[in-house]
Structure 1
Amino acid sequence: MTEATAAKAERIREQLRQFTGTAAYFQHPLNPLVVYTEGVQFLAEAAEAYWLIDAIASHFVRLHMAEAMRADERLQTLQFWRLEKLDSDVGFDAMISARADGDCEPFLVGYVGSTDFPLDSVDIWVGRDAEGRWVLYLPSEH
């Protein structure tokens, strides 16, 4: 990691700590059932990672997600997603995983071939709102 990337990552981490709630939701452009908070919007903009929102949102229209929710009812209300950077020698730059809670095995794992995402990892929680939409938010916004 270069000094510039490390400095950018530290600035983003510092600013992410300031998000403790949200006053507005942003509608995902491709999935009308997905919205995200100001904290997730900031993360996507600052880290140039709108692709991460797209990656998460894309799973909510896939059969494997419906099957996972039938198999584990906890997934119908709350999910814990994580992007983790990987060592460069494994063939992928990052891994995206999703869990029903922090102590269980992921129900979904995907790999990112190449990314310049500045943080080593980031957690995004996904919950259902009263309107039935999936809301992506930072843990600090819960």
Structure 2
Amino acid sequence: MGTLTKDNLQQFTGDLERYRHPLNRKVIYTPGVRYVAEEGEAFWLIDAIASWIGSEEFNDAASKDYRIGEMHFWTLETSWSKAGQLTARADSPEKPFIIQNIEFTDFPLRKIDIWAGFDGEHWTLYLPSEH
């Protein structure tokens, strides 16, 4: 496993390079998110987010709150017991519209935020520092 820390995520401040998700072709992600996946051995995290975007639960929430269809915020929180929870919110501190409990993860950070913005064609996943 790499050396993923909150501090080394600050090096990502945004650029034009993008990577396309192989299954949900409407999802692209930045070098910062790719770095999280590589250094944290967490491509599963990108997969989890991509699997929710466009799902029935996602579309239902977006039909009730227009903000979700433009931008929303994902958070992965882990515990010392190696369990985790992935949530998506229209904005903080609102209740999540998606909650996925993760039985086991060795993700190295206790918390990470990944933002998702829609450009009219693609959902871009990016780190807050890349905004």
Instruction: Pick the structure with greater CA Rg.
Output: 1
| Residues 84-127 of structure 1: CA deviation (Å, up to 9, x unaligned) | 00352xxx700000100012111111111111000001000000
Give the TM-score taking structure 2 as reference length: 0.94
> How many residue pairs are counted as aligned between the two chains?
131
1:125 aligns with 2:115: yes
1:34 aligns with 2:27: yes
Match for residue 62 of structure 2? Answer: 69
Percent identical pairs in the alignment equals 44
Q: CA–CA distance in 2 between the matches of 1:15 and 1:48? A: 15
Structure with bigger helix share is 1
Of 60, 68, 78, 2:71 maps to: 78
In the TM superposition, what are the counterparts of 1:38-117 in structure 2 within 5 Å? 38-88=31-81, 93-117=83-107
What code does the residue aligned with 1:124 have? I
Q: Is the 8 A contact 1:34 1:135 kept in 2?
A: yes
Q: CA RMSD in A?
A: 1.6
| Residues 20-76 of structure 1: CA deviation (Å, up to 9, x unaligned) | 102300000111100000100011000000000000000123111110000111101
Match for residue 19 of structure 1? Answer: 12
Alpha-carbon offset, residue 15 of structure 1 = 1.7
Give the TM-score taking structure 1 as reference length: 0.87
What code does the residue aligned with 1:34 have? V
What code does the residue aligned with 1:44 have? A
Alpha-carbon offset, residue 13 of structure 1 = 2.0
After TM superposition, the runs of 4+ consecutive aligned structure 1 residues lying more than 2 A away are none
